[in-house]
Amino acid sequence: YQNTVCKHQYELVTSGVRLAGERDSQPYPCPSCLYLQRLEEAKVAGLLLYGEAKRMDSKNKSYLYHAPCGHSLERRVDQVRGGDWRCQACIDTKLNEEADKAGLRLVGKGGDKAYRTYQFKECGHVKEVTTASVRSGTFHCDICFLNDVDDVLSKRWLKILDRGKKGDSRLFQLLDCGHIQD
């Protein structure tokens, strides 16, 4: 076949052309022009397209790209077009380095993309923390923190029973007499 719009020639199965004509009144898409478009989109995104991925879902075909960092990526066209193609290997390396610097070990994903699950190197406890908190050092181990608070309070003959009437107050029991105070 020769495409009447771009004049490229290619082999097609007749039944495929017939089915495409029954589904859509648009001109038959030229595979050569489509591939050139994919090459240009990759170039605009800062990537190098080097092939089609073997995995295909029903709607979107994935392609293989070479990223500026040197890693290979498998992404859909819409991800490349929209700029949503970040290299997961580089992200993981960065997060591991930040965790190590903060005294943590990255052990898994979190509830959403802002969180990851970390293990504290010092105590071994595990907690979900935002990556921004790890980066800025604004996190702590809740278990150790509460243990420290309990130790300090027991030395002062106090025990926390519940939250207080105000947001930052607590309901305490005075251990020597049993009275409860907010």
Six token digits for residue 42: 């990759």
At 16, the pLDDT band (50, 70, 90 cuts) reads confident
Query: pLDDT for 25-75, tens place per residue?
Result: 777 788 889 889 999 999 999 999 998 888 766 567 889 999 999 999 999
Structural contact between residues 32 and 6, judged by C-beta atoms closer than 8 angstroms: yes
Residue 129, CA atoms < 13 Å, CB-side half-sphere:
27
Give the global pTM.
0.62
> What's the chain's Rg over C-alpha atoms?
29
User: 93 or 167: whose pLDDT is higher?
Assistant: 93
Question: Residue 114: what residue type?
Answer: A
Query: pLDDT for 106-153, tens place per residue?
Result: 999 998 989 999 999 999 999 999 999 999 999 999 888 777 777 777
